[in-house]
Chains A and B, each alone.
Chain A
Amino acid sequence: MLTSLWSGKTLPVIVVSTILVVFWYVGSIYLNGDMQRDAFANANKTDYTLSEFIKGTWTQERPKLPAPDQILSELYKTVIDTAPTSKRSLVFHGYVTLSATLFGFLIGSVLGMILAILVVHVKSLDKSLMPWVVASQTIPIIALAPMIIVIMNQFDITGLVPKSIIAAYLSFFPVTVGMVKGLRSPDPLQLDLMRSYWASRVQIFFKLRIPASVPFLFASLKVGVAASLVGTVVAELTKSEDGGFGARLLAGSYYGQTIQIWSALFAASACAWALVTLVGILDRLVTKAMGAR
């Protein structure tokens, strides 16, 4: 029992996470120490004990590094205690971000798959367009985000759509690259077999290429959904009036509300994790439905 725990993954992850949390608390003492000393000095308190000092560093209102429990209680307050309709609720902001992310991701990945299918079947597209799609992975296309928001604004396109467009193009490129790789993954032997069955191009496509592309597709969908979320958050920095995690980050950085920043960051990370896990579950379901062991 103990050895299986030791050699598995769960225990090591728990231990390492615990070490990180301990480091975090120590880090809060270190980083917030100066401010705590100032606070005591201002209150003319010189005879404070070490435990008072440490407790002080973990309970400041605007600490440099909030202690994990401060972030958790802020999360509890803004997720559970606040009504989801309130602008102070992280559920509200999460809904804003997630709806734009999912809508954009859906558009981006569908377009990516369509383009991948075209690229595999039209040679001139493969040779002329595909190198640019691949090259786009090396440049920070997210830098386009503020501009897209402002330009859309001039066409009176506001709300969810501009953010979704950014989420869409960030997921579009990885999905295209992965899907092309997947549709090309059947080896020549398998293709030859299909040809010897006198299978048409359409049959080869549906019976061989599509099934073969599924693992690649899901791997890139995971990358794509994470990229979509980052895109939406960055878009919300420019378009902060609608709310969303990016708007929370920006507001927190304006007013020095570190706990708010961290809780928004944690909530955004939780959403990213949930999205990636969801794609992972979908992956497993689809693979199972296809009869893979």
Chain B
Amino acid sequence: MGRYNYLLAIGGAAAIFAAVGSYTHDVPVSLFDDHVIKRLIFGIIGVTALRQSGGPEVTGPQRWNIPFASFILAIELVTLAHAEGTRAWGFYAATLAFWLLAWRAVDVVLAEQAPRGRAKLLSDLAVPMIFGFTLIVLWEVLARGLQIPMVILPAPSAILGKLFTSLPILGADFLQTVQGILAGYVIGCGAGILVAILIDRVPFLQRGLLPLGNLVSALPIVGVAPIMVMWFGFDWQSKAAVVVIMTFFPQLVNTVAGLAASGAMERDLMKTYAASYGQTLFALRLPSALPFIFNGLKINSTLALIGAIVAEFFGTPIVGMGFRINTEVGRMNIDMVWATIVVAALCGSLFYGILAFIEKRITFWHVSYRQGA
């Protein structure tokens, strides 16, 4: 693998430029200014990258040089971006160097791919983490460094700061919205599963409801939000109602599909046992429907969040994530909007994660989890 590595070559060259360039327009270039240590670090990183760019693929502990270097670069860049002044080309060169070396770092970690087991999980997680970290560092550096106005794009550090200083508000918003989501989710999904079981013995109703369910899944149901707000008032009940309507049909369709999923052989076996309808349902068909039911539950976890947040755009008591987004957008507090979006994103992935965890514990026997065990 003696291929010439352009990523490293350009990245290294950029780092060397960064070592000798000026970082702010106001200050004349001098190698022995306040940034002398920084310049030294950039220089070392540049030389290392250039040396690795030609010649054979680096092995042994030295292969971690570039990931480590890009991490150091990230720290140096962020401190540079936080300093006063207008940026000059040394700063841009350092940013370019960081981006390219981080890219190379992803390749290095990718080459480490463990074949299976816990190590594979770790390396599968590490790569997207490095990527996400790189994006956030670049966002931070560019937002701070180019002094992008707060109302257009606040830096991640500003968003995080806002998040921690307004925890009480965000917490209250979270509780308010989650109340509606959970109530609606439990009722909507529960009703979907129940109705699916009820119409299980009436194929006529199934054939009638399924096409309708599929149709409704494609419609912009969030539009019922203003109606629900009129019916159930501003508080969480109206949000729960929107969530019920949004989650019912996807859950129904998935559960009906799941109930049909058990094999003919297995059902025949139940018949030879003289099992009653109820016994077959609980011992065979519901368990084999579980993967489908969980699929519906997972789709609905996102839908429920969307429904509740959008419903809050139409009116709430002055609390709730959707309300917060809508009002703070109007007041140009974009950092607060981002903080709320972070909470909503965490809430969504946590919700999904919990469902995925429960699914794995309950349906461990299913084919999709057995392979490669």
Contacts and interface: CB of A to CB of B under 8 A. Distances in A.
A268 B132 contact: no
A142 B218 contact: no
Given A9-B207, A124-B103, A124-B107, A142 B220 contact: no
Most buried by A among B106, B313, B321: B313
B73 interface: no
**A interface, over-half SS:** helix
Nearest to B307: A140
Contact of A230 (B206, B211, B222): B222
B174 interface: no
B226 A253 contact: yes
Nearest to A233: B220
A250 interface: yes
Nearest to A146: B329
A263 to B, nearest CB: 11
A6 interface: yes
A178 to B, nearest CB: 14
**B interface, over-half SS:** helix
B315 interface: yes
A173 B338 CA distance: 20
A15 interface: yes
B218 A276 contact: yes
Contact of A273 (B218, B332, B344): B218
Given A6-B204, A127-B128, A229 B220 contact: yes
A102 to B, nearest CB: 15
A150 B329 contact: yes
A292 B144 CA distance: 55
B223 A143 contact: no
Contacts, number: 165
A79 interface: no
A6 B132 CA distance: 55
Contacts of B207: 7-9, 12-13
Contacts of B212: 13, 16-17, 20
A140 B209 contact: no
A252 B212 CA distance: 27
A78 interface: no
B337 A147 contact: yes
Given A124-B103, A234-B222, A140 B329 contact: no
Interface of A: 6-9, 12-17, 20, 31, 64, 123-124, 127-129, 131-132, 135, 137-140, 142-144, 146-147, 149-151, 154, 222, 226, 229-230, 233-234, 237-238, 245, 249-250, 252-253, 256, 258, 261-262, 264-265, 268-269, 272-273, 276
16 contacts: A8-B207, A12-B208, A13-B212, A20-B212, A127-B110, A131-B128, A138-B302, A138-B351, A138-B352, A140-B345, A142-B306, A142-B310, A146-B313, A230-B222, A233-B222, A253-B229
